[in-house]
Amino acid sequence: MPDVGPMLELRGVEVRFNLKRSGLFGVAPQLKAVDGVSLSVQRGQTMAIVGESGSGKTTLALAIARLVPIAKGDIQMGDVDLLSLRGESLRTHRRHMQFIFQDPYSSLNPRLRAQNIVREPLDRFGIGSVQSRIDRVQELFEQVGLRQDQLRLFPHQFSGGQRQRIGIARAIASNPSLVICDEPVSALDVGVQAQILNLLRRLQNDLNLTYLFISHDLGVVQHMCDSIAVMYMGKIVEQADRESLFNNPKHPYTQALLSAVPSADPNRRNRGHRTTITGDPPNPIDLPPGCRFASRCPLVVDQCRTELPNLRVVDRTHRVACHLVE
Amino acid sequence: MTEPLLSVCNLTVEFTIRGGVVPVIDDLSFELAAGETLSLVGESGCGKSMTALAIMGLIPSPPGTISAGSIILQGEDLVQVTDARLREIRGNEVSMVFQEPMTSLNPVYTVGEQIAETLRRHQGLTRRQAQAQAIQMIDAVQIPLPDRRVHDYPHQLSGGMRQRIMIAMALACQPKILIADEPTTALDVTVQAQIFDLMQNLQKETGAAIILITHDMGSVAEMAERVVVMYAGRKIEDGRVEDILLRPQHPYTRGLIACVPHLLDTVTSDRPYLQEVPGMVPPLADFGFEGCMFAPRCNLVKDMCWQQKPDATKLTETQSAACWELASNNGTTNA
């Protein structure tokens, strides 16, 4: 893979799910879980995707990994057109793109020993000789902070944090260039979270990994990401680099999201600038014609209810989809 | 100081497991004043929820028993009272909101019926009165169209609305104490903010005291006035929120605050690695160890810590911690 240009580039990606039709002659409604998402992830960086549950962030990750069918759009990884890959070529391409899952309990096969779980990608992609695979597994165990005497244990003999380390070792086994981390620490206890987050950053430095980091925890995202995209109801509403987004959030939804996080930092709390948003998001099957945030937005004007705002550049790397942002 | 509303004294709850009898709550004492918000903080498996269940008289038995101590609510010891009396107290004087609103609501009854049941049981209202009151409660927790929502089943509501219903149910009889066990863990941050606002407003109206169980220091800062930090069944530090957050003394409390990437007000390009607390909470079988439970993970550990359990040392008028390191230089703490 060439070393120039972005690692991953998405243009107008759309994922639709067909729902059960109502009645015998009813039309099956479609749910656009991801609606025209464009973004690019730079090499060796971490791109975070944040949003509330149901905003489509996990579906987007699954789409990039080609694990859900994509209705429209274009995904380019390096110089490979991901959507043109089929069958065997798709399977072999997956060695460059691995996944770390949220739940370390259900994402490991309970009947395989830890060493075989980590070894599986090496076997599947035919990487190295059989002897070298054994050495590689030992090396991976060391990289993620597991002991050699744990090689032959089964998943249930590990704690949650250790299981997530096995999941990470498996993800980096095939030397991928892109690792998709879907809520990698949200199932873990706070003390263990720090250990895993530090491990992910260390591995990124050592192996020059590119992360697509999905999380709803803005504190974690702020700590981990280089750039960030905020999703709401299947669309990106704001996208910027880390400092620009957190120091100067422009979209009312991003502002509300940030101010909703309870903070232990007294400076942040004493500003008392909490913008609470009321109500629930609109029904995703029957979306309003205008801005999807209009029904909850504190700054809403008439234009918002009729016209869908486009994501446009407001300041170098900063893109916002809101009529009211200059 | 005036008489506290609730005082937990030397409470010990023991579980019989395969390895023998272990204390899941070990000699725990704290007090709760009327109308205040107290937070129990710690990682999972530290006995926070067990403390809540003990107050509610809901310790699963077997394997659990309250083997020592007392829980005094307005002069009445909840450890000694009969089951019938406990049933009167639960829901009426003390009520609880659980973490997962979907599993704690009954899926085959409408939410209105479930709120009304509490009212009929404890306040002796008629069916019609209870229904009317239920609608009022649903309105009080700011769910739109309460007279229609009252006929909805739990699956028809969103997660945030279900948690509001749980709160409505818990507050229906105007309890003196509301125990909220991780009430917002399953919810999005914007909904969490709504729920916290709601709880604070209702607390102002009804004057209920709140015990908030959480592991998130941000929620503690937002909601609580005092904090009890628990580790492996023991209280290791307590004090006022400002003191605990800005001047934590026990190495565990310090670690618990430092290891979380808190959302910062101003972001710079400087990003140090997070401070780790090595290891994890010990398994249940190791509880009741005669030394300090935190010794294996502590960076200030000394011989004493392995041999004897540290007692709470009073550091200031309002803050105390159980740690040998702090006990040895008591009075000259780096506050």
Do A38 and A174 share a structural domain? yes
Do A158 and A285 share a structural domain? no
Residue B263: both structure tokens together: 């959302």
Instruction: Note whether residue A230 is domain-resident.
Output: no
Place of tokens 């609730």: B6
| Rounded CA separation B48/B50 (Å) | 5
Instruction: Note whether residue A211 is domain-resident.
Output: yes
Pick from B158, B218, B264: which is nearest to A262 by CB? B218
CB-CB neighbours of A235 under 10 Å: 24
Do A301 and A193 share a structural domain? no
Do A50 and A150 share a structural domain? yes
DSSP count for chain A of H helices, then E strands: 11, 12
Q: Do B277 and A191 touch (CB under 8 A)?
A: yes
Mean pLDDT to the nearest integer, A163-172: 95
Instruction: Note whether residue A59 is domain-resident.
Output: yes
Residue A30 has pLDDT above 70, yes or no: yes
Q: What is the pLDDT of residues A231-262, one digit of tens each?
A: 999 999 999 999 999 999 999 999 999 988 88
Instruction: Note whether residue A242 is domain-resident.
Output: no
Q: Do A189 and B280 touch (CB under 8 A)?
A: yes
Chain A residues whose CB is inside 8 A of the B215 CB are 189-190
Instruction: Note whether residue A241 is domain-resident.
Output: no
Pick from B43, B44, B264: which is nearest to A265 by CB? B264
User: What is the structure's pLDDT at B230?
Assistant: 94
Residue A17: both structure tokens together: 């799910």
CA-derived radius of gyration, chain B: 21
Per-residue pLDDT band for A2 (boundaries 50, 70, 90) equals low
CATH code of A58's domain: 3.40.50.300
Do A289 and A168 share a structural domain? no
H or E segment to which residue B202 belongs: helix B189-206
> Which of A154, A127, A125 lies closest to A139 in space, CA to CA?
A127
Chain B residues whose CB is inside 8 A of the A52 CB are 188-191
Do A132 and A70 share a structural domain? yes
User: What is the structure's pLDDT at A266?
Assistant: 64
C-beta separation of A230 from A256 below 8 A? no
Instruction: Note whether residue A1 is domain-resident.
Output: no
Pick from A222, A224, A276: which is nearest to B263 by CB? A222
What is the bridge-based pairing of β-strands B209-214 and B37-41? parallel
Torsion of CA A32, A34, A36, A42, to 10 degrees: -170
User: What is the structure's pLDDT at A295?
Assistant: 87
Most B-contacting residue of A157, A201, A215, A263 (CB-CB within 10 A), to test interface: A263
Note the residue count of chain B: 335
Angle between helices B159-171 and B189-206 (to 10 degrees): 10
| Structural domain count of chain A | 2
Chain B residues whose CB is inside 8 A of the A257 CB are 189-190
What stretches of A37-129 show up as alpha helix (H) in DSSP?
57-64, 87-93, 114-125
Do A174 and A280 share a structural domain? no
Do A51 and A199 share a structural domain? yes
DSSP B78: T
The number of angstroms, rounded, from the C-alpha of B187 to the middle of its chain's C-alpha atoms is 17
Instruction: Note whether residue A324 is domain-resident.
Output: yes
User: What is the structure's pLDDT at B144?
Assistant: 82
Most A-contacting residue of B243, B260, B293, B298 (CB-CB within 10 A), to test interface: B260
Q: What is the pLDDT of residues B38-65, one digit of tens each?
A: 999 988 888 899 999 999 998 888 888 8
**A205 CA: distance to closest CA in chain B (Å):** 12
Residue A185's closest chain B neighbor by CA? B260
User: What is the structure's pLDDT at A296?
Assistant: 87
Which of A225, A256, A279 corresponds to the end of one domain?
A: A225
Do A185 and A82 share a structural domain? yes
Which of A194, A225, A256 corresponds to the end of one domain?
A: A225
Backbone angles phi, psi at B98, to 5 degrees: -95, 170
Give DSSP secondary structure letters for B208-228: -EEEEEES-HHHHHHH-SEEE
B217 class by beta-carbon count within 10 Å (0-12 exposed, 13-18 middle, 19+ buried):
buried
Chain A residues whose CB is inside 8 A of the B272 CB are none
CB-CB neighbours of A75 under 10 Å: 19
User: What is the structure's pLDDT at B333?
Assistant: 42
Pick from B188, B193, B271: which is nearest to A53 by CB? B188
What is the bridge-based pairing of β-strands A8-18 and A30-41? antiparallel
Pick from B159, B189, B215: which is nearest to A261 by CB? B189
Pick from B245, B261, B266: which is nearest to A197 by CB? B261
C-beta separation of A151 from A141 below 8 A? yes
Which of A160, A195, A225 corresponds to the end of one domain?
A: A225
Do A204 and A294 share a structural domain? no
Instruction: Tell me whether the omega of the peptide bond preceding residue B261 falls within 30 degrees of 0, making it cis.
Output: no
What stretches of A159-239 show up as alpha helix (H) in DSSP?
160-172, 190-207, 218-224
Q: Do B190 and A159 touch (CB under 8 A)?
A: no
Do A184 and A274 share a structural domain? no
How many contacts (CB atoms, under 8 Å) link A and B? 132
The mean of the pLDDT values for chain A is 89
User: What is the structure's pLDDT at A267?
Assistant: 63
Residue A150 has pLDDT above 80, yes or no: yes
Chain B residues whose CB is inside 8 A of the A219 CB are 218, 260-263
Chain A residues whose CB is inside 8 A of the B144 CB are 279
Q: What is the pLDDT of residues B228-278, one digit of tens each?
A: 999 999 999 999 999 999 899 999 999 988 888 888 878 888 888 888 888
Do A262 and A196 share a structural domain? no
Residue B224 has pLDDT above 70, yes or no: yes
Per-residue pLDDT band for A1 (boundaries 50, 70, 90) equals low
Chain B residues whose CB is inside 8 A of the A266 CB are 221, 242, 245-246
Q: Do B259 and A278 touch (CB under 8 A)?
A: no
Pick from B44, B257, B278: which is nearest to A264 by CB? B257
Q: Do A219 and B262 touch (CB under 8 A)?
A: yes
Residue B216: both structure tokens together: 């998130």
C-beta separation of A174 from A209 below 8 A? no
Per-residue pLDDT band for A269 (boundaries 50, 70, 90) equals low
The number of angstroms, rounded, from the C-alpha of A40 to the middle of its chain's C-alpha atoms is 13
Q: Do A274 and B267 touch (CB under 8 A)?
A: no
C-beta separation of B118 from B109 below 8 A? no
Instruction: Note whether residue A235 is domain-resident.
Output: no
Q: What is the pLDDT of residues A303-318, one digit of tens each?
A: 999 999 999 999 888 9
What is the bridge-based pairing of β-strands A80-81 and A72-77? antiparallel
Most A-contacting residue of B39, B43, B164, B190 (CB-CB within 10 A), to test interface: B190
Boundaries of domain holding A318: 247-326
Q: What is the pLDDT of residues A46-94, one digit of tens each?
A: 999 999 888 889 999 999 999 999 999 999 998 899 999 989 999 999 9
Question: Which of B9-18, B75-84, B285-294 has the lowest average pLDDT?
Answer: B285-294
Q: Do B188 and A216 touch (CB under 8 A)?
A: yes
C-beta separation of A263 from B221 below 8 A? yes
C-beta separation of B274 from A198 below 8 A? yes
